[in-house]
Amino acid sequence: MSGNDSDHHVTLSDGPLGIADVVAVARGGATVSLADGARAAMERSRAAVQAAIAEGRPVYGVSTGFGALADVAISPEDRTTLQVNLLRSHAAGVGQPLPDDVVRAALLLRAQALARGYSGVRPIVVERLVDLLNARIHPVVPEQGSVGASGDLAPLAHLALPLIGEGQVRWRDELLPAETALAQAGIAPITLEAKEALALINGTQIITALMALAVADTEQLLRAAEIAAAMSFEALGGDPAALAAPVHQVRPHPGQVATAARMRRLLQRDGTLPRPRRGAVQDAYTLRCIPQVLGPIRNALEHARQVVEIEINAVTDNPLCFPDDTGVVSGGNFHGHPVALPADYLKVAVASLGTFTERRIASLVDPRSSRLPAFLVPAPGINSGFMIAQYAAASLASENKTLAHPASVDSIPTSADIEDFNSMGTTAARHLARVVANTQTIVAIEVLCAAQALDLTEREPWGIGTQAAYRAVRAHIPFLERDGPPLHQLIETARDLIRSGTLQEAVDAALVASAGRDTAQQIEEGGVG
C-alpha cells in the first residue's frame, strides 16, 4: 500500500495498523473512519469508569489530581473543570512546531489507542480526532517539552486542545485559532468528561509517530545507500570477491547475508560481476566491508520496525479501564522506554551509515584513491568540481555523531520525584528524524559523485542495477563538465530522487526485468522445469 495513495482508507477497529497505514494517513490522501465494533468497545470501557465513579472509588485522574497531586481529591462538581485545566496546564511545549506529517501520524495513533476500548473515553472523543484528520486540520504542536513518561504529556495536550476549541491549528495553509477553523469546517468542539483529557495526553504517540515515519524513511534510505555503494564500488574498481556468498554464509547475520546478496544483484550482468581494478590486494573497508556495515543497519532497522508496529497498536493510557471484574487499574504503559531504546539504536545505526558513506565520497574525489581527475571534474584547478560537496557530507556526518548520543541514557525526575525515571524517548526520536534527513543528503552526494566518476571512467556501468541507477540520475542531472550551477541545486535534486523513491524504483524495475529475461532464457534452454 502506498502513502501517496489517495484511495487508501484506514479503519480504526480491533485489527492492527501497520507503518504503511501511518504513512498513508500522515503523508498521503488516506481517509480514516471508526468501526462500529470500536465504538462498542469504547462504550463498554466507559461504563467501567462510570461504575467506579458511581461507587465512589478513588480513581487517578478522575477523582484525584495528577502526578504529585494524585493525593488531592477532586469533587464531582469540579471534574469537568479538571479536564479543561489539565489540557491548558499541560500544553507547555516549546520550540518549533512539529511538521504536519508527524502531527497527522500522532492524531491517527492516539485515535487508534483510544479506539481499542481500554481508556474509558466516549466514542465522540475519537470521532473528533478522526474529524481533524479528514478535514486536514492540524494542531500546532511544539516539538520540545516531553520527557517521554508519563507519556508525551505536553505535546499531546497541544494535540488535544482543538477538540475543546482551544489552541492553534494549521488549516488550508493558514495559522488559525482552533475555534475559528472548527467553525469554518463545520466541526463542533466537545466537552470532555471525567478521565477523557487524561486519556488524550497519557501515551507515547509523539515518540511513535516520529519513529514510524523514521522507519519508513530509513527503509528508503537504506535501499538508496546500497545503490550508491554499488555505484561507487564500480567506479572505484572494487573487488567483488568480498561479496561472494561463501564469505557471508560462514558469518550468517541476516542483514549481512541480505546486503551481500543485494550488492551482487546490483553489480552483476549475465551472471558475472565487474572486474576489480588492477594493483590492489585488498580494498579499503568502505568497499570491502559493505555487507558487514550495512547489514547490521538492516538488523537495527528490522528491530525498530518490529517495536514500532507493536507500539502503533498498543494501549499506552493510565489508568486502564477493563470492562470486566478487573475494573479501572493504574499501570505504567505510558512509559516511553520500550520505544526510546530502539530510537537510539536506529539513530546510532543511521549515523554510522552516514559516516561510512562520507568516506567513499572522500575516496571518489581524491585522485590518489580514485585514479580520476581531482574532485571529479575534467579540468581541476580552474574548476573545483565536487570538492565542497565532500565538505558538506563531512559536516553532516559530524553533526550526526553529536545527535547520535543516546538520549535514553539520561533521566531527569519530574513532578516532585513521583515520576522519578523518564525515558527521554521523544528527544531520541526527534534526533533520529534529523539524523535520517542528514544521511539522505550524504547518500545523495555519493550518488552524484559516483555517477560523475562512472562517466570519467569512460566505461558503461557493468551491473544491471548500477546502470539503471546511473541512467536515473542522468535523466535529471547532467554530467558536470565545469563549475556551473550551484552544487546545492544538484544535491537537492539527487536528494529528491532518493526521498521520492524514484531512484530505488528505477533500479528495482531494471532488476525485475532482468530477472524475467534470465528466467525466460533458462526456460528456453531447458534449465527451469
Catalytically active residues are 60
Residues β-bridged to residue 321: 328
Find the distance separating the first CA and the last CA of the chain, reported in whole Å.
33
Pairing outcome for strands 31-34 and 138-139: unpaired
Residues β-bridged to residue 168: 177
CA dihedral 374, 380, 381, 387 (to 10 degrees): -50
- The three-point CA angle 22-333-335 to 5° equals 85
Quickly list DSSP for 10-52.
Answer: EEESSSPP-HHHHHHHHHS--EEEE-HHHHHHHHHHHHHHHHH
- The three-point CA angle 188-191-196 to 5° equals 120
Distance CA 193, CA 197 (A): 8
Contact 87, 156 (CB under 8 A): no
Largest separation between any pair of C-alpha atoms in the chain? 85
* SS3 letters across 423-479: CCHHHHHHHHHHHHHHHHHHHHHHHHHHHHHHHHCCCCCCCHHHHHHHHHHHCCCCC
Distance CA 118, CA 318 (A): 9
